[in-house]
A and B are shown apart, each in its own frame.
Chain A
Amino acid sequence: MSGIHALEAVDVVAGYAPDLPILHGVSAHVDASEVVSIIGPNGAGKSTLVKAIAGLVRVTSGAVRLNGRDITDVGAHKLAGAGVGFVPQTGNVFATLTIHENLIMGGAPLAKSAALERIEEIYEMYPVLKNKMRDKAGILSGGQRQILAVARALLARPRLMLLDEPTAGLSPKAAGELFDVVRGLAEDGAAVLLVEQNAKAALRMSDRGYVLAEGRNRLDGLAAELLANEEIGEIFLGLRRGAARPEGTA
């Protein structure tokens, strides 16, 4: 697709140390009302890519654009104000804060009154959070933490949502419910970039997908096409053609 994308990463080189890049020129884009999955084997650089987009990992070369505007060196907190929501893979809630305080954190880009109104809306969407609003987030189960993390990211009504393995540790039912929320976001016009280990499940609910391996683009295309592509099995864990594929891969 040509023209201005909701999110566009162009030849991104990034890593945790300046001379040790994890990504070696990765490109990807997401349009409004679209769910795009980033899949690949362990160490492919999937999480590094979303962290680089979210402003948490320094991009040493290449560019990241939000609706055509260069956001390569923009700090994480400014991106949140610009409509970027991010649910990290680990440490995705403030365990020492209450659930209500976690949601207050998510409302940081909004005015105080608007944030409080939005928190009430979130409580209506997720009654389980309202019931435990005074409890510390540290006592929540894995699934409840993910719900809180997603709810907190939704609070500022993001136009671009980045999710890093949101279904990790969730039951199939909870993962399905979370995917419904993600699809709902896209139907409301948001662009969604989803990083998932469970490649099959991610592609089934996505419009398009990118396959990364060793910090580089390997494949991309429509999700249905990628699901049918036998090459993905080889990319995952470096399996040779004809060898048994790991569960969860296409």
Chain B
Amino acid sequence: MILQHIADGILSGAIVSLGAIGLSFTMKMLRFANFSHSELLTWGAYGGLVFAAFFLSFGGFMDGIIGPFSFGPALMLAMLCACGATSLIALFLHRFVFERLSRKAGHMTMVFASFGVALVLRHLVVLIWGSDPIYYSNALQFAILLPGGVRVMPDQVFLLGLTAVVVIALHLFMTHSRTGVAMRGVAENPDLAGVCGVNVDRIVTWVWVIGASGAALAGVLYGMTVQLRPELGFSLILPLFAAAILGGAGSLYGAVLGGMIVGLSENLSVIVIPTTYKPAVPFLLILAILYFRPDGIFRERSR
């Protein structure tokens, strides 16, 4: 029973991790808590639905299913397109809302603006797709039995594998590419990065694209393993913030570990507390980390 909870915790933690990476980056590099970030998960998930339908309309190869999974090439391609489309939404918000506000208004104004943007994004989803839950596929899946009596769906194994690939790719990008190093430099000291010759505006664009792509992937994976609904992102807002704060703003590894801790804590908590209290666990984690280690587990000294 405990092993099953651990497996479920790791799987839900993987989704939180992917979503929290972008939130953590924007918190550190753009210096505000973006409450509309969770809605990018929703838009990524619904974007995946639209693009999957588009690719499925070609029929033939696109109509097929890959191995034991519930999806085929259409959803795989749709996932990539959803990343691109969600990035465009994020860049639109940056250009026409957050960048404009950052010139004249304080951080608190930007936080409140992000609340407003979140409401608009969420209700646009209801307006376009309705409020009923939607599934990418109605195909039946058979659980894989792992040692210890742990059961996981093939789609969940894909989710975990894809998360690992994305995290490793991001690690290599952040440590081995000039743009990745520049992103870390801008996060620490944007003025110094500027006088070094780094185009800070270009780096900020990268932050939005990476953050929105991670959110879109998390949204599609959530839709794939659970369901699509307009409150998808809203229901993850606390876990995302808990993971980002737990790991320390701007830390890739912190966001991933934070996501895993949140996922595991939520799923293991049901052993000792009623399931209805499960959503309160990320909130308690935020309180605990702010009290004991406000800069997060992976804080780095910048002085």
Q: With A96-B302, A104-B178 as given contacts, are A91 and B189 in contact (CB-CB < 8 Å)?
A: yes
B113 to chain A, nearest CB (A): 23
A138 CA / B302 CA spacing, docked (Å): 7
Q: In the complex, are the beta carbons of B188 and A94 less than 8 A apart?
A: yes
Nearest neighbor of A100 in chain B, beta-carbon distance:
B181
A79 CA / B194 CA spacing, docked (Å): 9
Q: Could you say which residues of chain A place their CB within 8 Å of the CB of B198?
A: 77, 105, 108
Q: Which of A36-44, A80-88, A228-236 contacts B (4 or more CB under 8 A)?
A: A80-88
Q: In the complex, are the beta carbons of B185 and A97 less than 8 A apart?
A: yes
Q: Could you say which residues of chain A place their CB within 8 Å of the CB of B303?
A: 95, 138
Q: In the complex, are the beta carbons of A112 and B195 less than 8 A apart?
A: no
Q: In the complex, are the beta carbons of A108 and B196 less than 8 A apart?
A: yes
Q: With A96-B300, A96-B302, A97-B188 as given contacts, are A80 and B181 in contact (CB-CB < 8 Å)?
A: no
A86 to chain B, nearest CB (A): 4
Q: In the complex, are the beta carbons of B195 and A94 less than 8 A apart?
A: no
Q: In the complex, are the beta carbons of A97 and B301 less than 8 A apart?
A: no
Q: Could you say which residues of chain A place their CB within 8 Å of the CB of B185?
A: 94, 97, 101, 105
Question: Is B21 an interface position by the 8 A CB rule?
Answer: no
Q: With A88-B192, A94-B192, A138-B301 as given contacts, are A80 and B184 in contact (CB-CB < 8 Å)?
A: no
Q: From residue 146 to 178 of chain A, which have CB atoms closer than 8 A to chain B?
A: 152, 156
Nearest neighbor of A82 in chain B, beta-carbon distance:
B197
> When each residue 126-157 of chain A gets 1 if its CB lies under 8 Å from chain B and 0 otherwise, what string results?
00000000000010000000000000100010
A177 to chain B, nearest CB (A): 23
Question: Is B6 an interface position by the 8 A CB rule?
Answer: no
Of the candidates A81, A92, A112, the one whose C-beta lies within 8 Å of that of B197 is: A81
A55 CA / B191 CA spacing, docked (Å): 9
A7 to chain B, nearest CB (A): 15
Q: In the complex, are the beta carbons of A97 and B181 less than 8 A apart?
A: yes
Q: Could you say which residues of chain B place their CB within 8 Å of the CB of A95?
A: 188, 300-303
Nearest neighbor of B184 in chain A, beta-carbon distance:
A97
Question: Is B141 an interface position by the 8 A CB rule?
Answer: no
Q: In the complex, are the beta carbons of A92 and B192 less than 8 A apart?
A: yes
Main secondary structure of the interface of B (DSSP, over half): helix
Question: Is A12 an interface position by the 8 A CB rule?
Answer: no
Q: Could you say which residues of chain A place their CB within 8 Å of the CB of B178?
A: 104, 107-108, 112, 115
Q: From residue 272 to 303 of chain B, which have CB atoms closer than 8 A to chain A?
A: 300-303
> When each residue 103-126 of chain A gets 1 if its CB lies under 8 Å from chain B and 0 otherwise, what string results?
011111100100100000000000
Q: With A95-B303, A138-B301 as given contacts, are A101 and B181 in contact (CB-CB < 8 Å)?
A: yes
Q: Could you say which residues of chain A place their CB within 8 Å of the CB of B193?
A: 77, 94, 105
Question: Is A54 an interface position by the 8 A CB rule?
Answer: yes
Question: Is A219 an interface position by the 8 A CB rule?
Answer: no
**Most A-side CB within 10 Å, residue of B195, B197, B198:** B195
**Most B-side CB within 10 Å, residue of A93, A108, A115:** A108
Question: Is A75 an interface position by the 8 A CB rule?
Answer: yes
A65 to chain B, nearest CB (A): 18
Question: Is A76 an interface position by the 8 A CB rule?
Answer: yes
**Most B-side CB within 10 Å, residue of A81, A88, A95, A96:** A96
Question: Is B235 an interface position by the 8 A CB rule?
Answer: no
Which residues of B come within 8 Å of A, CB atoms?
178, 181-182, 184-185, 188-189, 191-200, 300-303
Q: List 26 A-B contacts (CB under 8 A).
A: A54-B195, A56-B191, A75-B194, A76-B191, A77-B193, A77-B197, A80-B194, A88-B191, A88-B192, A88-B195, A91-B192, A94-B189, A95-B188, A95-B300, A96-B188, A96-B301, A97-B181, A97-B185, A97-B188, A105-B182, A105-B193, A106-B197, A108-B178, A109-B197, A138-B300, A152-B196
